[in-house]
Structure 1
Amino acid sequence: MNPRQLSARLERVAAHVPHGARLADIGTDHGYLLVALMNRGLISAAVAGEVALTPLRAVERSVREHDLGDRIAVRLADGLAAIEPADRITAISFCGMGGETIRDILARDRARLGGTERLILQPNGGEQPLRQWLMDNGYRILHEELLQENRFFYEIIVAEPGEPTRYSEREMYFGPLLLQTRDPVFVAKWQRLLRLKQQTLAGLARARQGQADEKLEQQVRWIAELLASGDGSARS
């Protein structure tokens, strides 16, 4: 991979890393994000955390190939255990994990957070419970965006410690800031999910002889209302 090029998904994550940050990338993918940002002169120090040895070796190889061993610390560790106080981390990224996994790591390892770090989160699903944790634990959502890369949709959530806005369950399901913009990618994602969830409901109805799945039915209703509304808001 060209060290200055990233996938569209990682480029959007990179865009939310503050200039000069000391960045910890947890569950790093070959260290691509850290290597690119360091080569661009956009971060001052970095920690790459991996829980498994095989991907850790890939990160070490990438860092070594770009002669960044003195600027990117590569550590075999579970979650935020990769971060040490002396690192003075100012931003933390999680990319490609499930939202519930990210939430569980943040909850379990919260004592390792300094209380000022920016969180740049790119969950693969599970966005609602992740937003719920942020709201319940003193984080303010600064930015949300949604992009499509190939046939997949990816959400990015940027949060910092601060007085959180209280959001409804429905807002956390769709993304409170994404609801405000409601761009074409947002609409396309929910159109696809509506079709898939309707198909799932129909299959469940046949298999259970009419037994309802209330949570799934609620989601289908929310999405249908969202897509039917002109301003992107779902009715009560």
Structure 2
Amino acid sequence: MNHEKLSMRLERVAIHIPKGSILADIGSDHAYLPCYAVSNGLCDQAIAGEVVEGPYQSARKQVAITGLQDKIEVRKGNGLEVLNSDEATCITIAGMGGTLISSILESGKEKLGKAERLILQPNVGAANVRSWLIDNGWALTGEEILEEDGKIYEILIAEKGDPLQPYHVNKQIGLMFGPFLTKQFSDTFIKKWQLEKRHLERIIEQLDESGRSGLESKRNELEAQISVIEEVLKG
């Protein structure tokens, strides 16, 4: 992977960047995404934010190699603190857990004043991200699910609006499974939740094998989750 050929995961993130954006890629690593976005005319300017020294230096080097120093600024800092207020119009955060993504957004939400779109790719815990979006007035406008190198990823796209609008059928199901993904009901979606169901079943087996008392409530909780998954997988 490089700035000319992204991974499928990052390519699908990039496709949702609105033309003419000022992009902020938080946790940018090698800055491949902003370099790709600027090089392909997906955004006019970009900020690559990175908190770790090694990736920060890699990002600076990558931007220099591509000759995009006049359009991409690499900044070192934690989360959205690399941004000035009302600076970025599109923010991407990819390749982290949903809890961390939510924490980054919560800690820096005063920097989102000019943001028109959030493109978020949690590796796990997408429900946490959906909950944050609802609590902070961001409406999901689309979702994707894809498999790459044996891992399944979700991409959430959000804009300011009525945060509950996509959840008009069942909020709890939507939070867990994704309101758009549930409707799309793709093979990858089905595979993800079949795998999750088997994972929960293995945990129940381990609980039973442990012979410990006082685990009934945990077992009931897991069985309830399995029942919900089975219901959704019926379509």
Residue in 1 that maps onto 2:67 = 67
One-letter amino acid of the counterpart of residue 124, structure 1 = N
Residue in 1 that maps onto 2:183 = 180
1:2–1:113 CA distance, 2 compared to 1 (3 A): closer
In the aligned structure 2, how far is the partner of 1:215 from the partner of 1:31? 42
Q: Following TM superposition, where does structure 1 have runs of at least 4 consecutive aligned residues deviating by more than 6 angstroms?
A: none
Which secondary structure state, in structure 2, belongs to the residue aligned with residue 92 of structure 1?
strand
In the aligned structure 1, how far is the partner of 2:224 from the partner of 2:160? 31
Q: Which runs of 5+ in 2 are unaligned?
A: none
The question of whether the paired residues in 2 share the 8 Å contact of 1:115 and 1:161 is answered with no
Q: Does 1:77 align with 2:83?
A: no
Residue in 2 that maps onto 1:98 = 97
Q: Does 1:160 align with 2:164?
A: no
In the aligned structure 2, how far is the partner of 1:3 from the partner of 1:108? 29
Tell me how many residue pairs correspond in the alignment.
228
Shift of 1:112: 1.3
Identity, % of aligned positions:
42
TM-score for the superposition, normalised by structure 2: 0.92
In the aligned structure 2, how far is the partner of 1:217 from the partner of 1:101? 27
Q: Does 1:23 align with 2:28?
A: no
Residue in 2 that maps onto 1:218 = 224
Shift of 1:206: 2.3
Provide, for residues 144-188 of structure 1, a one-character-per-residue CA deviation record: whole Å limited to 9, x for no partner: 010000110000000011111263222200011101110111111
The question of whether the paired residues in 1 share the 8 Å contact of 2:85 and 2:110 is answered with no
In the aligned structure 1, how far is the partner of 2:115 from the partner of 2:43? 17
Shift of 1:3: 2.8
Shift of 1:210: 6.8
In the aligned structure 2, how far is the partner of 1:126 from the partner of 1:141? 16
What are the within-5 Å matches in structure 2 for residues 5-44 of structure 1?
5-44=5-44
TM-score for the superposition, normalised by structure 1: 0.92
Q: Which runs of 5+ in 1 are unaligned?
A: none
Residue in 2 that maps onto 1:170 = 173
Cα-Cα RMSD: 1.5
